[in-house]
Structure 1
Amino acid sequence: MRIGIVNDQASAVDILKKVIVDAGHEVAWIAHNGERAVEKCCADVPDLVFMDLVMPVLDGAGATQEIMQKCPCPVLIVTTSIEDNSTKVFEAMGAGALDVVSTPRQENGSITGGKELLAKISVIGKLHGSKHVRAASKSAPKVRMVPPLLAIGSSTGGPSALATLLGALPEDFPAAIAIAQHVDGNFSENLAQWLDSQTGLKVELARSGMPMQAGKVVIAPGDRHMRMGPGGIVELSRGPGENIYVPSVDVLFESLCCAGFPSNSAAVLLTGMGADGARGMFDLRNSGWMTVAQDKESSVVWGMPGAAVKMGAAREVCSIEDMAGLLVRHFKKRFRS
């Protein structure tokens, strides 16, 4: 990939250049403020732009807006102060930036945060390839804001655990919620209706083409795999394919890395037999997602969450009673308005 770097800090530019070049990518150009970034981007449209937020002359949100209007191309917000600049993060993503990640830093002679940045580059490369975004004639199309996602996988004992978790989430929960619960197709509609009665959130059975919305819960039908396509759009397909479980938690989780959800999204594995979801959760953790497994004591069967813990896929392990509080704190902390 040819990547343009926009950052007014020389030390940050040097680190970004090293991460890019060492991974086999090419630095297209460097700009030290947003205004110059727009000029350079329109003169030489790269495959991707690393956009800082706080800069002189024109900040990252303003520069992203102008780039998307004049010479649109994929923009990744790369900044050292995500939480302190959440308003600007949302402004930039509303203008068309695809995602946000912390700027890598050098500590004791080694670079930390480089793997997370490269994971974002890989996802964007899969979504957009290495081709430039086709320029708009007068203005860029409106970009739908993709909300953060809470993805949940569960099996044996799952309905009760889901009711406990969803029932404890506030009605203004800021993330969309997608659930893959192992259940017979004849009962999935009943499960959605029952869960809807257990929580203040709206719970529906998933349908192909549905856009994910903050505060809304969708549950996969019992005879379909559920994936998330680009832009957070639900895609359903018949199983089982390579997976013995339908719906498969791994199928859902593995689709999320390339669906464009914000980096403050989270994945949860609840009680259940087997190991479905552990592999997909491991990939999500490596992509920077918050990952949570239900603890052994509160699980009916500690198969799925236990497999995730043993694999190192879970950042946090907690009881089902404490999980809602942990998730609410996570989403409020990551993008406090």
Structure 2
Amino acid sequence: MKIAIVNDLPLAVEALRRVLALRPEHRVIWVAENGAQAVQRCAEQRPDLVLMDLLMPVVDGVEATRRIMAETPCAILLVTSNMGANTARVFDAMGHGALDVVDTPTLAGTDPHAGAAPLLAKIEIIGKLIGDSAPARVDAARSAARSRKSCPQPLIAIGASAGGPAALATLLHGLPADFPGAVVIVQHVDEQFAAGMAQWLGQHSTLPVRVAAEGDRPAAGVVLLAATNDHLRLVAGGCLAYTPIPREYVYRPSVDVFFHSACALWRGGVVGVLLTGMGRDGALGLKALRDQGHHTIAQDQASCAVYGMPRAAVALDAAVDVLPIDAIAPRLRAALSMQPEPGGHDDRP
């Protein structure tokens, strides 16, 4: 993989070079000392992956991410020395299309492999995403047995990845405090950032936003966010649970896993929403929801930071509506009044 490093600290650059040298398939093609240089270098020689620092002179990592994704889009992994202190910047950069975040490795310690493992693991996952040209293998068999417990309120099932934080903030801002649907979000984000992301989204929402705990039941007027690196799913009784299976999925937590569980076990109506993101996660699940008569929405290309997941859904004819991000909340409000019964078919616009 061709990798670029954007960091103004020589020690950090050296640490990143040493980590990448542990894997011969990775090659550093250039180094930039600030975001302005990174934007220019990406235009001259686009890498497969940019390791982007957040705090830099001239142009910081957030603005550099925005410009790169607008002008010469490529995969961006945020690498920062203090993730906890830079939570807001992390979400801002992810809103512009950064895929993930990891701590800057250090040169301290006697075992270089131990310190390098978190960064190399993130790079491996992103490499799979970049090379993901085939649909994810998802067990599409639907359970015939549905929960006996009634779930009268509609469920708004939302999936997002790169660019998701900003898109989610826009969507949630458009939902009123008396919104009658139960909202569950699966965003590709490392579990250590889930609680902070819920708090951050709550600042943009009139609805309460919190992380989903094992055993929670989606409720009207509450937004629940997947909180671990395991997959969030619905189980019998309409409750939420986490599962590590399927273990081989690159996407964690997987939007497809949640959409398929909603398709099988939610007794009320479902509106599936697939937002910006790299790869194909959620496309097959959205298709399953539409095939069972539920309303489905995909974000349009013009408003996506990364038009990957919605593109895959559109290619499968999985979306009833393809909408810009600022039109999705109004469509959700309207959709609740025309939600078809599960199993029926209603593709009204």
What's the CA shift string for 1:128-165, capped at 9, x where partnerless? 7xxxx9xxxxxxxxx55442100000000000000000
1:315-326 aligned within 5 A: 315-326=320-331
Of 269, 278, 285, the residue aligned with 1:273 is: 278
2:311 matched residue in structure 1: 306
CA RMSD of aligned residues (A): 1.9
Q: Give, in angstroms, the shift of residue 325 of structure 1.
A: 0.6
Distance 1:145 1:240, change over 3 A: closer
1:197 matched residue in structure 2: 203
1:332 matched residue in structure 2: 337
Normalising by structure 1, report the TM-score: 0.56
Q: Give, in angstroms, the shift of residue 184 of structure 1.
A: 1.0
2:177 matched residue in structure 1: 171
What's the CA shift string for 1:96-127, capped at 9, x where partnerless? xxxxxxxxxxxxxxxxxxxxxxxxxx968323
1:160-239 aligned within 5 A: 160-238=166-244
Of 280, 290, 297, the residue aligned with 1:285 is: 290
Normalising by structure 2, report the TM-score: 0.55
Q: 1:223 touches 1:239 (CA, 8 Å); kept in 2?
A: no
2:144 matched residue in structure 1: 125
2 CA distance for matches of 1:309 and 1:201?
29
Q: Give, in angstroms, the shift of residue 245 of structure 1.
A: 1.1
Q: 1:146 touches 1:260 (CA, 8 Å); kept in 2?
A: no
1 CA distance for matches of 2:193 and 2:246?
18
Moved over 6 A (4+): none
Q: Give, in angstroms, the shift of residue 239 of structure 1.
A: 5.5
1:135-146 aligned within 5 A: 145-146=151-152
1:79-98 aligned within 5 A: none
Q: 2:294 touches 2:339 (CA, 8 Å); kept in 1?
A: no
Unaligned runs of 5+ in 1: 1-121, 134-142
What's the CA shift string for 1:269-302, capped at 9, x where partnerless? 0000000000111111001110000000000001
2 CA distance for matches of 1:258 and 1:302?
28
Q: Give, in angstroms, the shift of residue 231 of structure 1.
A: 2.9
2:251 matched residue in structure 1: 245
1:18 matched residue in structure 2: none
What's the CA shift string for 1:184-211, capped at 9, x where partnerless? 1111110011111110001110111011
User: How many residues are matched?
Assistant: 200
Q: Give, in angstroms, the shift of residue 223 of structure 1.
A: 1.4
2 CA distance for matches of 1:283 and 1:144?
21
2 CA distance for matches of 1:275 and 1:317?
16
Distance 1:254 1:187, change over 3 A: same
Q: Give, in angstroms, the shift of residue 253 of structure 1.
A: 0.6
Deviates more, 1:236-245 or 1:210-219: 236-245
Q: Give, in angstroms, the shift of residue 238 of structure 1.
A: 2.9
What's the CA shift string for 1:223-260, capped at 9, x where partnerless? 12100112321111236613111110011011112213
1 CA distance for matches of 2:266 and 2:159?
20
Unaligned runs of 5+ in 2: 1-140, 341-349
Q: 2:144 touches 2:264 (CA, 8 Å); kept in 1?
A: no
Q: Give, in angstroms, the shift of residue 320 of structure 1.
A: 0.2
> What is the DSSP-based 3-state SS (H/G/I as helix, E as strand, rest coil) of the residue aligned with 2:146?
helix
Identity %: 43
